Structure formats: C-alpha cells, structure tokens
Structure 1
Amino acid sequence: MSQSLINTEIKPFNASAFHNGEFIEVSDADLKGKWSIVFFYPADFTFVCPTELGDLADQYDELKSRNVEVYSVSTDTHFTHKAWHDTSETIGKIQYPMIGDPTGTITRNFGVMIEEAGLAERGTFVIDPEGKIQIVEISAGGIGRDASELLRKVKAAQYVAAHPGEVCPAKWKEGEATLAPSLDLVGKI
C-alpha cells in the first residue's frame, strides 16, 4: 500500500454475504450512517482465522450497542461462509455478515490483496458514519488479532469524533482522561 487510507472514503462495492441463516447483498452504502468494522482474513476452514472471528463474535453485542456493524470478508464465496458457519462451532456463533469477495474487488479496494495467493491479508478497518476510514491495522498471516483491543480503539475513535479538540492517549480506556492538544502541553507530557 503506497498511501495511507486514513480519512479516505471507502470505494464502491456490491457483494453477497451470509448473515443470520440467509444470503444478503451488502454494498458500500450499507457501511454509511453508522460505525463499521471491515475485518479481512485469508480463508475459511483455516487455523488462525476461526480464532479471530470467534473472538470478534464474543465482542459483537458490545459493538452493536455502540452502533457498530461488523463485516468479515475473505475471498471465499458466501456459499463457503455458510458451509463453514454450519460446520464449525466457533464460526456458528457469528451473528455479523460474512461477505464473500471471490473477485477480490473489496479486498483490492482496501489494499489487502495478496495477489499471488488470491487471499486477503489480516486487515482491520474502522469506518466512521461518513464512510471514512479512521483505523487501519494489517497483520502478517500468522499473527492473530485481539477483538478487545479493537473494541478499545473503536471506543477511542468514537470519543474523538464526538469531542472535537480532544485526543486519546496511549492505552486510553473509556472514562479516563483525554488530552486537549495545545501549545501549553508541548514538552510537558
């Protein structure tokens, strides 16, 4: 990825997804008007991926309570997502939409396509209600992500969006002090 996607608007897409026992259509328009997490992973029926998706499923109710929708995406089809959901206890608990991206359009839009493999990197994107990317995290294939840390980052992004002029310091947790950047703080932190 040659340029940062931070504060850029998501690119248009249309895709099929498996969600709550049925196939649905999802587009970039569905990501607007609320906070969204687009969670790319390499492939269904693998090893690290189900641990990540299950961990994210465990945080889903909390995310939904914060007006955040989660979309997992791999280059598998929505049919493969259904088969995985139906056969894996871990994946069976997922209630968020599982988008199929067999053409790689969405994966390329977000700059996480591994071209030689036709698979997605482990990419996490937090998108604000205007459709702009606020958080980007990309991990190597063997490194699983932590949904509780993602939730912390979402809380910080929502706080900063709701409180212009304030920023959240390292390890900030909801309810803790924030900072108001000013000339008086320079060199005093």
Structure 2
Amino acid sequence: MSNKSRSDSPEEAFRREQRGVAKGIAAAIGASLLVAALALALVPAPVAPEAGASESIAALLPWLAPLGLPLAGGVAAVAHHRFFHAGAIEGGDPPADRALAVARAFLQNTLEQTLLAGLAFLALAASLPPDASALLPVFVLWFVAARLAFRLGYPKGAAARAFGFAATFFPSVAALLVATALLLARALS
C-alpha cells in the first residue's frame, strides 16, 4: 500500500510530496558533503603542486567522457522508445505515452545538469590549487551515480527523484560558487 491515504486532500498530498522532496534534498546535500570530505581525505593529488591551471584542466578533460554517459543514456532511451513504438517513431509526442514523457524529461534535465556540471568542473579545475584537482574525478563519478539515482526515481514521483536531482545540482552550484570566489579573490589581490 502506498503512503498516500485515500482521505488525503490535494493540499495534504502536495504537502506530503513536498516533505519527501525536502528529505531527498537534505539526504543529497549530506551525501554530497560526505563524498567531498572523503575525497579530500583519501584521494591523492595526481598533479604536481607546481603545476598550473592548464595541467589541472588537462587532467579533468578525460573525465568529461563519463560525465557525458548519463546524457548519452538519455538520448539512447528516447531513441530506443521511439524506434519500438508506432505512435512515437515519427518524432511525435503521443499524449498517453508516459514512458516517452519520462525518458524525454530525464533527457532534458540531464542535458541541463550535464552542461552545468561541465562548466562548473572546468571552472573549478582552472581555479583550484593543482593538488586539489584530484577531487574532480570523484565529483564526476558522483554526478554519474546521482544521475542514475535520478533516473531510477523519476517514474516514482518528485520525492523519489529529489535525491538524484539535488546530488547533481547542488554540487555543481557549489563548484561554480567556489570557482567564482577564487576568481574574485585572485582579481582583488
């Protein structure tokens, strides 16, 4: 039986879903902070401390391949669905095709998140001290895992996908803020 009671008003159901989303966001932020802390504590620096931003960016570039895997998976899921369903093969958007709607929504959100993460990680690679650049592959792998969590939760509703969304969105925003702060600190010094 679902946790949704038959006597719930639409407002009560909305509030319950909001609480589920808030719990997913809190869990994602906590897990993301834990991943970052573990990475800081356990991941050795692959770049010599005297290296510059170009070496850090060069070390990150191969990691853009796994960063793109969730996006490629989203494209493949939409293409696969269209190929095997008569109402969707012509590129249409059949209104009753929930599976296609979920695949397209995942793809759109993953496109947005991948672009944001790619910009954030490149900016961070250029801004961090070289010995901290070892964190970036960990962040990429966390992004991929979080996108998988988002995809698995997507058909189950907002609360079920909140963790995966937040675990990709908030680390990217944090990376952008850190990179911007470091840029401004260098510009003002």
Question: Which structure: greater strand fraction?
Answer: 1
Structure whose CA Rg is larger: 2
Question: Which structure: greater helix fraction?
Answer: 2
**Which protein, 1 or 2, shows the higher relative CO under an 8 Å CA cutoff with sep ≥ 6?**
2
Q: Please indicate the TM-score interval, normalised by the length of the shorter structure.
A: under 0.3
Question: Under a length normalisation based on structure 2, what TM-score does the superposition of the two structures give?
Answer: 0.26
Question: Under a length normalisation based on structure 1, what TM-score does the superposition of the two structures give?
Answer: 0.26
